[in-house]
A and B are shown apart, each in its own frame.
Chain A
């Protein structure tokens, strides 16, 4: 690099500088999504492959696998790459950026985990693990209340009753996600409350040449747009504004329609939910962009970026909506609409699901 101030950023420096600039909560979120979850997922996938080869797995391993493997949407290396790209767009005017080998490696990690999701079918792997039929389950097989239940975790369909451990993954069987509606409402409410500070409070302070002013997320978008970076502006607008708001509105609508037992558009609503559930993670783009800016642009009064409470609030909104979506069970919509024989639409769908 020819002269000038320069700094290098690696995966650890992002969280490090987030802590140093007074945003430990962002640091935790970033470490969780970039380091903890991807590592756990890769380790779990490897462990599972090993177990399949050995044809044996202890019970605790199975339980851990049921927790870790579904965390697919929480591994956000690919989102981070987009966020870094947006950050580079923002810095472009004043900073010369060159890419180190670790960025390629990070892209490789992202591609690998994408390939893992696409290629390795976790249901198929589960299939290959031996099933331990417990005596109780066998004994209960013909008792009252017995029906076919698909395990949420490993996908095995058992002839069993609610609450009995799955003979394969040893997690309790539930035909629907427990407490789905109340959890979803609670998380949605929390997210909706936090939307206000997320958009009203400044997300970052960019100090350029000693003069800095806090910028909200919307301010960052207009800044990008004013500099002619339309693509980046549109991406940030969609990921930071459209998707979270849409998600909140859509989930609330789905819940309300479910309560009212609306039958129309069930297929559409289900697809909409799946789509939103898949893309909500991209809202973290803004957070990763903030992290990259904080870590990259630290040249004293020349250029430096500080995270502001708005970013933390926004991160919380994204996490809460993701959790809300995770706790929402779209099958309840069909139950409520009376589309599932044997599941009478009575009271709240939740109560019925647990009967």
Chain B
């Protein structure tokens, strides 16, 4: 193709060798023009390289069987090991016997040595869980979707291409030092696989899985605690559920506990070792522990001395519940463990219902060690003999929470300790408004005993006779005022039935009026000078005596009430009339 131009340039060079423009042309046209074909060659090389690297980076095609295809999607779900992408699910189909799903996964070439007998696969589905990493990573798994996790396990002997996927993450990831324990709890709550486990707010492990145990009915959680924190798991280590926010109404009022944002979102499990147990040997892996509902419950059980007691109450135990406190002089000594409504088992009370309150006394809470045996059953016997009683106390008027209080009660109803199973029955004492109502009723009864109606009947009869016999204006006046006073007294008695206070206030003036009325009547009778033997005189005298007695008794009552106003509340003290 360059032949023609070479000829042309040769001709030009001979004719005008001096011309500058001639030589470059000659040189230029000698250039090999085939270089342009280097470009497609380079393109071929590039494409060939791309194809080669694609082929070589493709590892083997493996199949993994799962129970469900949830979270698996073709061409999207990735297989990861230590967050490194090692393959992509290419297809998800049913197995030949239609019982499982089979994911076909194209692995990367570098994953080849990991595909052995011991390799395990499981699907990590999005969940709000940090696992062992921080919250941000947890959020990213939430939004990044499910992926298939790979755990190579110990170096295997035989390479494999077909795997049975696990339905739950394996309990121990290979190469992660730590121990696995089992926790039992009544309800799972917000716990889930991956729920973090904290020790003093440090992330030390996670929940691996959970299952419902049938006998006994409870939830069993498998947890993993990383080394070296598993050294903290000793026999007396207490686990409890940790929630971000707990709002509790207790006898102390409203308490709002706010933990970290992480536990608010994820929930969590925390544990603590009692101070005394620090030096204990770590518990072996696979041990079983109880998971308590909250820290308080966990701490309560960490008291080594718990002495069971029972008390029966025949009044309302509203506001008393499991966990309510037991005090002595305001110091916490124990907690209520159970509140039941039962038929009173004590002899002589079988026909009645009572509230059975079971509680434990834990001397560690408040007493020095030397005094601990004061609360055990022997020590309690002497305390009860010294009038120690269990009293229901309203602890918080706002919330209505009640607590049990151990108090020395003056003139306690005699009670004895009885045994009920392991527990001792402590006698209880009622101290509440009920007593006040009873004394008010007693006063009403006393007032009713005043024969006011009788007096009025007699008075009426006498007045009729007097009217018939006597017609003096003074006597009439005196008798009229007597009638009025009597009516007042009548109304008073009526009032006393409905409410005491205004009636009491009016008692002294009424008595006075009665007396002055009697004086007037006597004076009137004396003026008129009736014969001593007349029936009128006799009737009148009897009546006057009755009135005077009534007045006296009213005055006495008024005086007594003035001196002992508390009698209205407590009833009359029989020993101090």
Contact assessment for B47 and A193 in the assembled complex, using a CB-CB cutoff below 8 Å: yes
Task: Give the residue of A137, A187, A213 whose beta carbon is less than 8 angstroms from that of B36.
Answer: A187
For the complex with contacts A161-B8, A190-B39, A197-B47, 18 further pairs of A-B residues with Cβ separation under 8 Å are A135-B19, A143-B15, A162-B5, A163-B5, A163-B29, A165-B21, A186-B37, A193-B47, A194-B47, A197-B50, A209-B144, A211-B143, A309-B50, A316-B43, A320-B39, A320-B43, A348-B1, A355-B8
Contact assessment for B22 and A136 in the assembled complex, using a CB-CB cutoff below 8 Å: yes
Most interface-central of A163, A165, A211, A301 (chain B CB within 10 A): A163
Contact assessment for A145 and B8 in the assembled complex, using a CB-CB cutoff below 8 Å: yes
Alpha-carbon separation in the docked complex, A179 to B36 (Å): 10
Contact assessment for A210 and B144 in the assembled complex, using a CB-CB cutoff below 8 Å: yes
Query: 5 tightest CB-CB pairs across the interface, nearest first?
Result: A136-B19, A190-B43, A190-B40, A163-B25, A189-B40
B302 within 8 A of A: no
B33 within 8 A of A: yes
Contact with B along A163-176 (1 / 0, CB 8 A): 11100001010000
Q: Which of A182-206 contact B (CB under 8 A)?
A: 182-183, 186-187, 189-191, 193-194, 196-197, 201
Measured CB to CB, the closest approach of chain B to A33, in angstroms, equals 19
Q: How large is the interface on B (under 10, 10 to 19, 20 to 34, 35 or more residues)?
A: 35 or more
**Residues of B contacting A172 in the complex (Cβ-Cβ under 8 angstroms):** 21, 24-25, 28
Nearest chain-B residue to A181 (Cβ)? B1
Nearest chain-B residue to A350 (Cβ)? B1
**Residues of B contacting A260 in the complex (Cβ-Cβ under 8 angstroms):** none
B16 within 8 A of A: yes
Contact assessment for B21 and A213 in the assembled complex, using a CB-CB cutoff below 8 Å: no
A227 within 8 A of B: no
**Residues of B contacting A136 in the complex (Cβ-Cβ under 8 angstroms):** 16, 19, 21-22
A351 within 8 A of B: yes
Contact assessment for B19 and A187 in the assembled complex, using a CB-CB cutoff below 8 Å: no
Alpha-carbon separation in the docked complex, A187 to B36 (Å): 8
A253 within 8 A of B: no
Contact assessment for B1 and A134 in the assembled complex, using a CB-CB cutoff below 8 Å: no
Nearest chain-B residue to A191 (Cβ)? B43
Most interface-central of A134, A189, A316, A350 (chain B CB within 10 A): A189
Alpha-carbon separation in the docked complex, A351 to B2 (Å): 8
**Residues of B contacting A148 in the complex (Cβ-Cβ under 8 angstroms):** none
Contact assessment for B140 and A210 in the assembled complex, using a CB-CB cutoff below 8 Å: yes
Contact assessment for B44 and A193 in the assembled complex, using a CB-CB cutoff below 8 Å: yes
B470 within 8 A of A: no
A120 within 8 A of B: no
Measured CB to CB, the closest approach of chain B to A6, in angstroms, equals 20
Contact with A along B328-341 (1 / 0, CB 8 A): 00000000000000
Contact assessment for A162 and B39 in the assembled complex, using a CB-CB cutoff below 8 Å: no
Contact with A along B135-151 (1 / 0, CB 8 A): 00000100111000000
Contact with A along B33-57 (1 / 0, CB 8 A): 1001101101110110010000000
Alpha-carbon separation in the docked complex, A72 to B240 (Å): 75
Task: Give the residue of B11, B28, B29, B43 whose beta carbon is less than 8 angstroms from that of A189.
Answer: B43
A264 within 8 A of B: no
Most interface-central of B1, B24, B76 (chain A CB within 10 A): B1
Would you list 20 pairs from A and B whose C-beta atoms are within 8 A, ordered by A residue? A134-B21, A136-B16, A136-B22, A163-B8, A172-B25, A179-B36, A187-B36, A187-B39, A187-B40, A189-B40, A190-B40, A193-B43, A193-B44, A194-B43, A197-B47, A209-B144, A211-B144, A301-B140, A320-B43, A351-B1
A354 within 8 A of B: yes
Alpha-carbon separation in the docked complex, A117 to B43 (Å): 33
B9 within 8 A of A: yes
A139 within 8 A of B: yes
**Residues of B contacting A211 in the complex (Cβ-Cβ under 8 angstroms):** 143-145
Q: Which of A89-136 contact B (CB under 8 A)?
A: 134-136
Alpha-carbon separation in the docked complex, A210 to B28 (Å): 57
**Residues of B contacting A145 in the complex (Cβ-Cβ under 8 angstroms):** 8, 11
Main secondary structure of the interface of B (DSSP, over half): helix
Contact assessment for B4 and A179 in the assembled complex, using a CB-CB cutoff below 8 Å: no
Question: Do A186 and B16 form a contact, CB below 8 Å, given A210-B140, A350-B1?
Answer: no
Task: Give the residue of B4, B16, B44 whose beta carbon is less than 8 angstroms from that of A351.
Answer: B4
Alpha-carbon separation in the docked complex, A208 to B271 (Å): 38
Question: Do A179 and B33 form a contact, CB below 8 Å, given A136-B22, A210-B143, A309-B50?
Answer: yes
**Residues of B contacting A196 in the complex (Cβ-Cβ under 8 angstroms):** 47
Contact with A along B69-98 (1 / 0, CB 8 A): 000000110000000000000000000000
Contact with A along B13-31 (1 / 0, CB 8 A): 0011001011011001100
Query: Hey, which bits of chain A sit against chain B, CB under 8 A?
Result: 134-137, 139-140, 143, 145, 161-165, 170, 172, 178-179, 182-183, 186-187, 189-191, 193-194, 196-197, 201, 209-211, 213, 301, 309, 313, 316, 320, 348, 350-351, 354-355
Alpha-carbon separation in the docked complex, A162 to B5 (Å): 8
Question: Do A164 and B36 form a contact, CB below 8 Å, given A190-B43, A209-B144, A354-B4?
Answer: no
**Residues of B contacting A355 in the complex (Cβ-Cβ under 8 angstroms):** 4, 8
Alpha-carbon separation in the docked complex, A213 to B43 (Å): 26
Measured CB to CB, the closest approach of chain A to B3, in angstroms, equals 8
Nearest chain-B residue to A355 (Cβ)? B4
B12 within 8 A of A: yes
**Residues of A contacting B33 in the complex (Cβ-Cβ under 8 angstroms):** 178-179, 182
Contact assessment for A201 and B143 in the assembled complex, using a CB-CB cutoff below 8 Å: no
**Residues of A contacting B9 in the complex (Cβ-Cβ under 8 angstroms):** 163
**Residues of A contacting B42 in the complex (Cβ-Cβ under 8 angstroms):** 190
Alpha-carbon separation in the docked complex, A90 to B82 (Å): 32
Alpha-carbon separation in the docked complex, A162 to B24 (Å): 13
Measured CB to CB, the closest approach of chain A to B123, in angstroms, equals 15
**Residues of A contacting B12 in the complex (Cβ-Cβ under 8 angstroms):** 140, 161, 163-164
**Residues of A contacting B144 in the complex (Cβ-Cβ under 8 angstroms):** 209-211
Measured CB to CB, the closest approach of chain A to B154, in angstroms, equals 31
Nearest chain-A residue to B36 (Cβ)? A186
Measured CB to CB, the closest approach of chain A to B19, in angstroms, equals 4
Alpha-carbon separation in the docked complex, A137 to B25 (Å): 14
**Residues of A contacting B3 in the complex (Cβ-Cβ under 8 angstroms):** 351
Measured CB to CB, the closest approach of chain A to B143, in angstroms, equals 4
Nearest chain-B residue to A184 (Cβ)? B36
**Residues of B contacting A190 in the complex (Cβ-Cβ under 8 angstroms):** 39-40, 42-43
Question: Do A213 and B50 form a contact, CB below 8 Å, given A179-B1, A182-B33, A194-B43?
Answer: no
Alpha-carbon separation in the docked complex, A193 to B43 (Å): 6
Contact assessment for A354 and B5 in the assembled complex, using a CB-CB cutoff below 8 Å: yes
Alpha-carbon separation in the docked complex, A230 to B159 (Å): 50
Measured CB to CB, the closest approach of chain B to A343, in angstroms, equals 13
**Residues of B contacting A201 in the complex (Cβ-Cβ under 8 angstroms):** 50
**Residues of A contacting B44 in the complex (Cβ-Cβ under 8 angstroms):** 193
Alpha-carbon separation in the docked complex, A351 to B8 (Å): 12
Measured CB to CB, the closest approach of chain A to B46, in angstroms, equals 7
Alpha-carbon separation in the docked complex, A140 to B11 (Å): 12
**Residues of A contacting B15 in the complex (Cβ-Cβ under 8 angstroms):** 140, 143
**Residues of B contacting A209 in the complex (Cβ-Cβ under 8 angstroms):** 140, 143-144
Alpha-carbon separation in the docked complex, A143 to B3 (Å): 21
Alpha-carbon separation in the docked complex, A316 to B11 (Å): 41
**Residues of B contacting A309 in the complex (Cβ-Cβ under 8 angstroms):** 50
**Residues of B contacting A197 in the complex (Cβ-Cβ under 8 angstroms):** 46-47, 50
**Residues of B contacting A179 in the complex (Cβ-Cβ under 8 angstroms):** 1, 33, 36
Measured CB to CB, the closest approach of chain A to B105, in angstroms, equals 16
Alpha-carbon separation in the docked complex, A211 to B140 (Å): 8
Alpha-carbon separation in the docked complex, A285 to B304 (Å): 77
Alpha-carbon separation in the docked complex, A248 to B554 (Å): 128
**Residues of B contacting A187 in the complex (Cβ-Cβ under 8 angstroms):** 36, 39-40
Measured CB to CB, the closest approach of chain A to B346, in angstroms, equals 68
Question: Do A193 and B21 form a contact, CB below 8 Å, given A136-B16, A164-B12?
Answer: no
Alpha-carbon separation in the docked complex, A291 to B2 (Å): 43
Alpha-carbon separation in the docked complex, A163 to B22 (Å): 8
Measured CB to CB, the closest approach of chain B to A301, in angstroms, equals 6
Q: Which of B286-335 contact A (CB under 8 A)?
A: none
Alpha-carbon separation in the docked complex, A134 to B19 (Å): 9
Nearest chain-B residue to A193 (Cβ)? B43
Most interface-central of A145, A172, A182, A210 (chain B CB within 10 A): A210
